[in-house]
Amino acid sequence: MSCQNPERCAHQAASWKAQQERYVEIGEKVLAELRESLERGESNLRISYHGDTRQTDRCISGATIRMLVCDEAWPFWYYKNSYGIEKLELVGHVKAGEKKYRPIHVILIKNPGSDLWKVTTVYDPRSKEYKWGNNYQERKCFCK
Ligand SMILES: [Zn+2]
């Protein structure tokens, strides 16, 4: 697999990158608030059934996801759409052997008026290597 429309994706990637710094700044605040609420014992994190199925397929455990969200991952994108739905995209690296790390992306969504963040997707971005740059923190291809 590769990019189906390099010209369009290069254009989109440039505007994505131009906004990334601002959105990451918001994402960092949002993630810090989620982590603080989890430390207070509030259960504001759900790993959905759909998410669980995917994790099994991709050998990423619920415990690993929890560790990434609670501790080790950092945001590379944040977005709030016109309906108020927030989306937080995290990247982390999981030890996969001596001096070997596996990159993992964790995608979370929160509905307006709710405090609950739901993990909707978890994947190893190396499965579509061509879509990412800068150590899997920068989106280069927007093809489906
Ligand atoms: Zn593309």
> So where are the chain's domains?
6-139
Q: CB-based contacts of 114: which residues, under 8 Å, 6+ apart?
A: none
Cβ contact 140:131 at 8 Å: yes
Q: How far is CA 48 from CA 3, 12, 54, in A?
A: 30, 30, 10
Residue 48 phi/psi, 5-degree rounding, is: -70, 165
Backbone angles phi, psi at 53, to 5 degrees: -60, -45
Single-letter amino acid, residue 33: E
User: How many Å lie between the centroid of ligand 1 and the Cα of residue 10?
Assistant: 8
Q: How far is the CA of 137 from the centre of ligand 1 (A)?
A: 16
Count how many Cα atoms sit within 13 Å of the Cα of residue 17 in the half-sphere of its side chain: 14
pLDDT at 52: 57
Mean pLDDT of the chain: 91
pLDDT tens-digit profile of 79-109? 999 999 999 999 999 988 888 999 999 999 9
The confidence score (pLDDT) of residue 50 equals 58
In terms of pTM, does the model score above 0.95?
Answer: no
Residue 57 has a pLDDT of 56
Average pLDDT over residues 122-143: 94
SS3 state at 106: strand
- How far does the centroid of ligand 1 lie from the alpha carbon of residue 33, in Å? 34
Q: Strand 117-123 and strand 45-47: pairing?
A: parallel
pLDDT of residue 49: 55
Please choose, from the candidates 98, 107, 102, the residue with its C-alpha nearest in 3D space to the C-alpha of residue 127. Answer: 102
Q: State in Å: Cα 80 to ligand 1 middle.
A: 23
**Which residues neighbour 25 within 8 Å (Cβ) at sequence distance 6 or greater?**
none
Distance (Å) from CA 99 to ligand 1 centroid: 31
Q: What is the mean pLDDT of residues 42-58?
A: 70
